[in-house]
Amino acid sequence: MATQPPMQLPDAEALCASLAEAMRPYVDPATTALVGIHTGGVWVAERLHAALGLQVPSGSMDVSFYRDDYHQRGLHANAKTSQIPFDVEGAHIVIVDDVLYTGRTIRAAMNELFDYGRPARIDLAVLTDRGGRELPIAPSFCPHSLSLPAAQILALERATDGGLSFRLIEK
């Protein structure tokens, strides 16, 4: 029986550039706000903010307390506080994450955003969609899709020089 060659992981740096170009026609640099989900989404939001020349400061969220499985997962040791440095009321907000999977993290992010106010519009930007949705959530902007078994996790990592790359983790 032949073994399969190792999976070719997507180039996170190239995906960041593609994502910025896909978003460019749909964002207003003066009014669009980005909110990255800790941790990978925050890194991607930082890149997008610079590439798109956005003027509204980016926000960040740790949605741990908003997840519907909080009672099962508990609080992560690295829990961070959410920072939303702009007025959410009436804003066009793009939630940014690295990998879209079940949709539950995005649902939690939307729930948290509404605690800050009622946005005029929410879009979703992700580097890659790995399938496996459990909720009817779809990205507005996504330059890459792949299919992974449930036993694998696609994790975004940041090197000391700031470079982004993906790593495949077996559960």
Note the pLDDT of residue 77: 57
Can you tell me the distance from the alpha carbon of 159 to that of 163, in angstroms, rounded to the nearest whole number? 5
Can you tell me the distance from the alpha carbon of 142 to that of 15, in angstroms, rounded to the nearest whole number? 9
Strand positions, DSSP E, the chain = 32-37, 59-61, 92-100, 121-129, 152-158, 164-170
| Token representation of residue 111 | 């729930």
Can you tell me the distance from the alpha carbon of 72 to that of 107, in angstroms, rounded to the nearest whole number? 17
Query: For the chain, which residues make up each domain, given as ranges?
Result: 12-72+80-170
pLDDT band at 76 (very low <50, low <70, confident <90, very high): low
Note the pLDDT of residue 3: 56
pLDDT band at 144 (very low <50, low <70, confident <90, very high): very high
**Would you say residue 78 has pLDDT above 70?**
no
- The CATH code that applies to domain 12-72+80-170 is 3.40.50.2020
> Mind listing the pLDDT tens digit for each residue in 15-62?
999 999 999 999 999 999 999 999 999 999 999 999 999 999 999 999
User: What is the amino acid identity at position 129?
Assistant: D
- Taking phi first (over 0 means left), then psi (-120 to 50 degrees means alpha), and beta for anything else, what does residue 29 get? alpha
Which helix H or strand E contains 107, and what residues bound it? helix 104-116
| Token representation of residue 28 | 């207003």
> Mind listing the pLDDT tens digit for each residue in 94-127?
999 999 999 999 999 999 999 999 999 999 999 9
**Would you say residue 6 has pLDDT above 70?**
no
Note the pLDDT of residue 80: 76
Query: pTM to 2 decimals?
Result: 0.92
**Would you say residue 159 has pLDDT above 90?**
yes
